[in-house]
Amino acid sequence: MEKEIDENDWKKKKYLIWQGGISFEKRCNVFHNHRCYRNATKDGYCWQHHPDKVAEREKLSKDIRKIKWENSPLNIAMRKIKELEEEIGILKSQLAICSYDSKKHKSYVKEQKRQINRGAVK
């Protein structure tokens, strides 16, 4: 049902697009008086492509991706690795401070517990 039209006749082209007489490929390469070739509803946009709706959908998908990432096995493993690395760092610092002296080590551990109870160290 392709109809021959003059390339310079924009009014006729727009009318045929509105009537559905032009193929999709030609329809997409033509100037439209609104953002989407569907019926414009608000501010010249259709309901799907209106900036408010697009922002709402993007926010929703971002929240869903964040929830999926928080519960993904990779993220859980990375958090566990980070905790273990911090624990290793604490143990290494204890060894460096105590220098394998049991008296120093006991006093260091006692001091750490006191600071933790006071809320100075997490």
> Which DSSP string corresponds to 1-39?
------TT-HHHHHHHHHHT-S-HHHHHTS--SSSSSS-
Stretch 87-95: mean pLDDT: 81
Query: Residue type at 118?
Result: R
Q: Does residue 3 sit within a domain?
A: no
* Structural domain for 34, as ranges: 10-118
Q: Does residue 1 sit within a domain?
A: no
pLDDT for position 84: 92
How far apart (Å, rounded) are the C-alpha atoms in residues 53 and 41?
13
Per the structure block, which two tokens stand in for 87? 């624990």
Of the ranges 38-47, 75-84, 100-109, 110-119, which is most confident?
75-84
The set of residues, in sequence order, having a beta carbon less than 8 Å from that of 121 and lying 6+ positions away, is: 112, 115
As for how many domains the chain has, the answer is 1
pLDDT for position 76: 95
Identify which has the larger pLDDT, 61 or 5. 61
- The fraction of the chain above a pLDDT of 70, given in percent, is 53
Query: Residue type at 16?
Result: L
Identify which has the larger pLDDT, 109 or 30. 109
pLDDT in tens, 29-60: 444 444 566 666 767 677 777 788 888 999 99
Q: Does residue 2 sit within a domain?
A: no
pLDDT for position 24: 47
Q: With beta carbons less than 8 A apart as the criterion, state whether 5 and 13 touch.
A: yes
Q: Does residue 86 sit within a domain?
A: yes
Q: Does residue 45 sit within a domain?
A: yes
